[in-house]
Each structure stands twice: as C-alpha cells, then as structure tokens.
Amino acid sequence: MNIYWQLIWAYIKIGIFGFGGGYAMLSLVEHSVVDPGWISETMFTDIVAISQMTPGPIGINSATYIGYVAPGEVNPQLASPLFGILGSVAATLAVILPSFFLVIYASHFIRKHNESGVIKAIFSGLRPVVVGLIASAAILLMNNANFNPNGRTDQLIINIIISIIAFVLVYFKFPYRGKKINIHPILVIILAGTAGFLIYGI
Amino acid sequence: MKNIYLQLFATFFKIGAFTFGGGWAMISIIEREIVDKHGWIRREEFLDLLAVAQSLPGILAVNIATAIGDKLRGMRGSACATLGCVLPSFLIILAIAIFLTPDMIKNNRIISSIFMGIRPAVVALIVAPVITSAKAAKIGWRTVWIPFIVALMISINIGFISNPILYILLGAVGGWGFWYFSNRSLNHSSK
C-alpha cells in the first residue's frame, strides 16, 4: 500500500481511538509510527521533545512531523520537501477529521434536543464535573518536569514564584487609566517566556 | 463589522499559536477571547462545550475549536476555527522539519530557557479558570464536593478510576437522576 494511504489510515485510527488528548494519546501514536518502521524510537523521543518546545497540541505536532519524514524513510525516492509536505498535510488532516465530524454530529444532536429537560439536567450534572476536570489538569501539571526539571531547589522556588505571579496577573483586575482591566493570558505567556530567558538563558 | 468566519479563524489562529501544554492550557485564552472579548458564548455554555469536547475521542484542543465554531456558525464555522487552531503548529513544525534537525531545537539553550519560564506560568493559566468556571457552574455547598472528588480521583492517576470519561458519565447520569427523581416527587406532592 502507498505510504500516504498508510499514513492517513494510521492517523485516522489515532483520531478515533485517541481518548484523553495529548500525552494519553502518545503511546498509541508511538505504536502506530515506530512499529511500521516509519521512524526510529530515538526519533520519536526527539519529536515529543520538540512538540513540548513548540506551541500547539502534541497530537498535531507529531502528525505534522512524522508525516513529513515518513515518506522519505520508507522510500528514499520520496525524500524531498515536496513529498514530505504532502505527507504532513495527509497525516494532520487525517488525525483531525474523525473528531471533527464526531463533534459536529454530537453538537447537532444536543442542539436539537436542547429544550428537553433531560439534556438540561445532564449538563447541570456535567458542569461541576468539568470544573473538577480542569482542576485535575492543573494538579497533574504541578510536577517536576514543569517546576523542577533539573532537581535544584533555587529553580523550584523561582518557578513557583513565576507561577504565582502569572496567576495574580491573569486572575485579578488591575486599574489602568481609570478603568479596571484584565491582563491577557497571551501577554502573561510572553512575560513568563521573557523571564525564563532572562533568568535561565543568559 | 468584519466577516465572522475570518474573525473565528483569526481568533483561533492566535489561540493555537500561544497554546503550550495541550487543550486545557487553552482555556484561559479562550475564555478571554471568546467569552469576554467577543461575547460569542456565555461562560456556562463554554463548560457544556468542554464536556462534549472531552467526552469525544481526538485532540482536545481541536475538539474545543470545532465545538465553538459549530455553536457559532455550523460546519463552516467549525472548519474556520479548527483550521485556525491547527495551522500555527502545523507551520512551525513543518518549518522545523524542513530547515532544522531535532538536535538544533532540543539542545538550544535559549529556547529551553524560555520554556523553563513558560511551563510554570501555563500551570497558573489552568488554575485561574478552575475558579472562574466554578462560579459559572454556580458551585454551592450542595455541589462543591463533586469537583473535589473528580480532581482527586483523576490526579491520583491509577487505571480506569482515573479516567475522565468515567466522571463525565457519572455526572451525566447524576444530573439526569436528580432531575428524574425531583420531578417525580414534585408530581406526587401536587396530587
């Protein structure tokens, strides 16, 4: 079978069976791309590392990268940017499309029955759960990889301070020219990146 | 007034470009852009969309973009929001794949120092929406135990009892059951 169809099929499967997003999907991705010999184990680890250092969902990042290198790995004749970009587009679209249609279908179903008491009741039960889901995402990220990657107490303290300042900036309103304004989360990310560069990069 | 499809695409392009650390890290940016700035949806509607996005398979960030786009302008809106959300990472990764080798990124001191600063901030960006969403969900004394139990069970991270889908199912069944039985007792008392 053509490498492009193989890529599309592999990523459609990842899109359908990848529950829980991001890191929960990684072992499935690893299985689907390392086993057929598209990339090596080391390369896969590299791609995960790069995904952590670039914006965007890790599922998309890995699809784009693996889609680019896979055609050349399988067939040296396809080792050119053009065939690579084709693979990137194929894999990225393939991983998006299943959930794209599932989400649209589910949304339409819910909208159609929106006025029914049952749907309203179900969502009133779901809202407190979603609050818990967001909280669990925050708790799971409070780990060494994010706060203490090198196992040093001084860095841990600096990173906790960065986190607290970021929270204060994004949560509270600040007076500005007679108005109360919120600071945009994107600005907070830019400030935190600048702080990281000034503290750790120089 | 600018074209809504363009606005959706541009807004999600911005969100995609600044989302580090997966779908949950998008929430505070989405709240600010979609709920506060554009007023496209209300905060409690956003929670409902999050529940749908998390219950379905696929990439959470993409599911959220699709759900919001669909809520606003149907399938065409979804396509604009989803493409906008995906395009920044697609272009960045493609540029890296074409022009650089993995080692040039992995061992780059400047990039890794920037991310040492961004990672702890991203955690704070997920803590903030816990509080705003608790307010939007009208969490009171009767329901406050639910988010606590859910967060605890998921973050201990053992097997299926830490699977978010389990708690979404329980929440749905609980919401339905509460409604069903309070309706029934209401009918009984009115007789």
Question: Cβ contacts (< 8 Å) between B28 and chain A: which residues?
Answer: 170, 185
Cross-strand partners of A182: A173
From the CA of A28, how many Å to the nearest CA of chain B? 12
pLDDT for position A87: 92
Site from A105, A131, A150, A200 to mutate, B interface, most B CB atoms within 10 angstroms: A131
**Cα-flanking dihedrals φ and ψ of residue A56, to 5°?**
100, 160
Residue A21 has pLDDT above 80, yes or no: no
Residue A7 one-letter amino acid: L
Q: What does chain A look like in DSSP terms, one character per residue? A: --HHHHHHHHHHHHHHH--S-HHHHHHHHHHHHHTTTSS-HHHHHHHHHHHHTSSS-HHHHHHHHHHHHHHHHH-GGG-SHHHHHHHHHHHHHHHHHHHHHHHHHHHHHHHHTTTSHHHHHHHHHHHHHHHHHHHHHHHHH-SHHHH-TT--HHHHHHHHHHHHHHHHHHHSEEEETTEEEEPPHHHHHHHHHHHHIIIII-
Note the ipTM here: 0.86
Closest to B88 (Cβ–Cβ): which among A56, A126, A185?
A56
| C-beta separation of A12 from A97 below 8 A | yes
DSSP character at residue B160: G
> Dihedral of CA A177/A181/A184/A185: which sign?
positive
What size, in residues, is chain A? 202
Q: What is the pLDDT of residue B90?
A: 94
The rounded distance, in Å, linking the Cα atoms of A90 and A47 is: 18
Are A131 and B137 within 8 A, CB to CB? Answer: yes
**pLDDT above 70: residue A1:** no
Taking CA–CA distances from A88, the nearest residue in chain B reads B94
- Ranges A16-20, A22-26, A111-115, B75-79: which has the least confidence: A22-26
**Chain B residues with CB-CB distance to A23 below 8 A:** 22
Residue B17 confidence (pLDDT): 92
The pLDDT value given to residue A23: 63
Tokens of B109: 């001191």
All residues of chain B having their beta carbon less than 8 Å from the beta carbon of residue A143 are none
Give the list of residues 6+ apart from residue B177 with CB closer than 8 angstroms, or none: none
Higher pLDDT, residue A166 or A149: A166
Region of residue A18 (phi > 0: left; psi between -120 and 50: alpha; otherwise: beta): beta
Beta-carbon contacts of A7 under 8 Å, excluding residues fewer than 6 positions away, are A38, A66, A67, A70, A71, A87, A90, A91, A94
The H or E element that residue B147 is part of is helix B145-155
Q: Provide, as residue numbers in chain B, all residues whose Cβ is less than 8 Å from the Cβ of A19.
A: 57, 165
Three-state DSSP at B57 gives: coil
Among A113, A130, A183, most B C-beta atoms within 10 A, so best to mutate, is A130
Predicted confidence (pLDDT) per residue in A46-82, tens digit: 888 788 778 888 888 889 999 998 887 777 777 788 8
pLDDT for A113: 83
Mean pLDDT score, A146-159? 90
A19, pLDDT greater than 80: no
Which residues have C-beta within 8 Å of that of residue A39, sequence separation ≥ 6? A33, A47, A66, A69, A70, A73
- Which pLDDT score, from 0 to 100, does residue B188 have? 66
Contact A103 B165 (CB under 8 A): no
- The confidence score (pLDDT) of residue B190 equals 54
Enumerate the residues of chain B whose CB falls inside 8 A of the CB of residue A85.
94, 98
Chain B residues whose beta carbon lies within 8 Å of the beta carbon of residue A159: 116, 119-120
Interchain CB distance below 8 Å, A69 and B63: no
Residue B171: burial class (beta carbons within 10 Å; 0-12, 13-18, 19+): buried
A189 touches chain B (CB under 8 A): yes
Distance CA A51, CA A63 (A): 10
C-alpha span between B78 and B67 (Å, rounded): 7
- A163 has a pLDDT exceeding 90: yes
**pLDDT tens digits, one per residue of A86-102:** 999 999 999 999 999 99
Cβ distance A49 to B57 less than 8 Å, yes or no, reads no
Q: Which residues of A touch B117 (CB under 8 A)?
A: 162, 192-197, 199-200
In tens digits, what is the pLDDT along chain B, a chain of 191 residues?
578 899 999 999 999 998 887 778 888 898 889 998 899 999 888 888 888 888 888 888 899 999 999 999 999 999 999 999 999 999 999 998 888 877 777 778 888 888 889 889 989 988 988 888 888 888 888 889 999 999 999 888 787 788 888 888 898 899 899 888 888 877 766 54
What CA–CA distance (Å, rounded) separates B101 from A68? 13
Preferred mutation among B60, B64, B109, B187 to probe A, highest tally of A CBs within 10 A:
B60
Residue A68 sits at the chain B interface (C-beta within 8 Å): yes
Residues 143-162 of A with CB under 8 A from B: 145-147, 149, 155, 159-160, 162
Distance of CA B46 to the CA centre of its chain: 8
Cα–Cα distance for residue pair A172/A183, rounded to 1 Å = 8
